[in-house]
Structure 1
Amino acid sequence: MEKIKKYTGRIMVPVLFILLLAPYLASSVIDEGGVSILAGTYLFAVLSIAWSLGAIFDDKRKTIALLQDSEGRYRIFSKYSKELVNSFNEVIFQTDHKGKWLYLNPAWKSMSGATVNESLGLHFSKHVDNTSYQDVLKAFAESFEQGKKYFRVDIKLRDAKKGSSWVEAFVKLIYDEAGKFIGTAGILSEINERKHAEEKLVSLNEHLAITSSKLSTAAQLAAGIAHEVRNPMTAILGFVKLIRDGGTDKQEYYDIIFSEINRIEQVLNELLMLSKPSGAVFLEKDLKKSCDHVVTLLETNAVLNNIQIHKNYDAEPIFIYFDENQIKQVLINIIKNSIESMPDGGNIFLSIYEQNREVFVTILDEGEGIPENSLQKVGEPFFTTKSSGTGLGLSVCFKIIEKHGGKVFITSELKKGTKIVCVFPAVQPKNLSGNEKEEERDEMVKPEK
């Protein structure tokens, strides 16, 4: 039956033509007593045309049936595809060549806090922070230069209700037939949990690096601490013997003994604070007192290397908001590096002053200096100019300073020395214009001759 349906046109059309020609054939047979050659040829030609028309009819009917079937399938596919896309937790998007949203599925609202209708037609930069926007532009530029059609980038979405959320963008670059860039399409997937885990891991690594640096510094200072403790102990033993032997002015001896004991206690307390791992506690304190403690801890170590530490600051307190343990670690690392840079001895100048809404801590040494090609790399993890260094000491210091809202400026001259300026925000800033602030800072970070 199916085969007969395929040839319906080829059968029906010739039969229709025969029925139409039946009167003509009948009159021809009656008049001439049979079918003439001309009539037979004409009949054959007509039937051939009828057969061809029937074949065309069959083909068209088959094509129409296929189209109807395809249309039905497309409608079903379109319906379920739309339902599938709308059910995704990920955002499916499309933009034009300028970066304006052309399509967003409903998941966009739960991810960004904005409705699809509110966002369509807007530039994507309206929904991301400035850092993420720069990252996207950089990824675009690299993809264009390298001829890539895909790239991935982490983006921080701004949401007025939730604050912000992290998403991973998988972006495909779309080109027309002429090779002209016409837009993008891709998927946004939420990665808040992953980002939080990464931040915790970074924080843990920084904490471990700080603790490791503290313990390493404490071990390196052991010789100086031993010497620092030995001197008071010698004095204490001497005066105890005098008392035992019946010295006359015992009160004076007692005063000296207690003074030396306090000196030992001060040094040991500083060493314990250095080696003790603890969380950051930011308090408003006098920075100069912390610097005095550090100098007390390092002074003997410096003297053993024929180095003098000169303090240059007024008696008035200078308050900043800081974690004392961490800032001490920074000062110890920097001053210790200065000591190590002067194997033949020399001077270290430590100065602290407040000016232009900021507190400046300057450490200047007379060491070997840092080559110009290495100066820009100072503070990068694992970069060091020492043969036995790890390159983590200054990297940790710079991280600590950054967490305190500060900045570091380094200038150096070979065979003359290095100057490190740490700049922190003051607790009680003085009113000064921005231009004056920049001019004085530029002057302050110049190397001293």
Structure 2
Amino acid sequence: MTTGEGYAPGYTPLRAWWAVLVIVLFQIVSLIDRTVIAVLIPEMRADLGLNDFQLSLIQGMAFALFYGAMGLVIGGLVDRWSRRGIMFAGITLWSLAAAATGLARNYAQLFGARLLVGFGEGAISPAAQSLLSGIFPRHRLATPMSCFVAAGVAGIGLSFALGGFLLDHFTRSPLGGPLEGLAPWRQVLVVTGLPGVLIGLLAFSFREPARASVQGAGAGWGVFFAHLRRHARLIGGMMGGYLLAAMATQGTMIWAPTYARRVLDMGATEVGAMMGLAVTLGGIVGGLSMGLLVDRLFGRGIRDAALRLYFWMLLLAPPLVALGILAGSAQVMFLAILLLMLTVGASFGPALTAVQMVSPPEMRGRFGALAVLVSNLGGLALGPMLIGGLTDYVFADPDRIGWSITLSLVVLGAAAAALIAWARPAYSERMREM
């Protein structure tokens, strides 16, 4: 039950938005630790003797295996235990593991460290979604949820800019002390990973909101899977659409820096600055705008506004982005990435909100984790693997990586739009039930 303007008991708008600010900071830190290696790929490739497919596993599958699988398990804990405590434990683990990635001496160690990063980061999204859904009323939920997603985008953008800057800086002026003798790319990973250990303490700076349902302890996994079967079209269509959309968009984001450096002959700092600006500007401006728009449309009675918006963005934007990447111009590529983030990337916050809208309160952690599982399985594992595989085994030419990116964008974007359209009638029916 909520009080006042619909916020959780004990929460004012100011306190609610402080919680959003802390959660946003955690999301930024998580995306920096997750994504910064995208700028370091050429150095890692040369140092450890890896190919593009192996690197796609490190960027994606190694992380997504534990992030997704353990995220669903953690989602069950989120529905029962302290969400603040779970977030604190997660950020501590992933920060230490991210720093350890820079100390890995072979492929197995690198893979193992990325597994642990994924394990720790599996806590952030289900806990954050459950907290925000418990703090904010439904007609105001899309905006804070979009802030959460936009923070991830800002983290990606910051990771590109920070990673490129630090790589060039440590190449010119390597760190001494405990990090003396480490390759510059390794120093970048250690320096960006460790601060999260202290930042995690902010989890205890806001109140744990009361559970939305006193039945939470009774909603076991059997009830959860029965709900999945009962709403197969709704959940299958939404999650399938999220999976394919993430494959298209995140695969593009992960491999775009390598394309820019390998094919367009750009430097690390230049690529980092370009990607950072495009991703951050598009994600924040687009994300907040989309959240406000969906909240306004929802208030006017358009209860499936989030899915409508996601459908049109998936249908229209990917072909235009693909053309921009194939143009062979750094400036046009910048505009293409900006467009991708202003449209498809910015619509994912409302898409997550749509999941929370139709989830039983006692299962919000698990359904939030399920949405994150499929989006990260697609975005961090299957999407990068597809592009790396196309480059190595279909086009058989590292310089054709731009064609791999654009092919995945066009085909997967259209398929994702079709699945979202298939789920919309079931979504509208479920909204009428709640």
| Structure of larger gyration radius | 1
Q: Which has the higher strand share?
A: 1
Larger relative CO (CA 8 A, sep 6+): 1 or 2?
A: 2
TM-score grouping bracket, smaller chain normalisation: under 0.3
Q: Which has the higher helix share?
A: 2
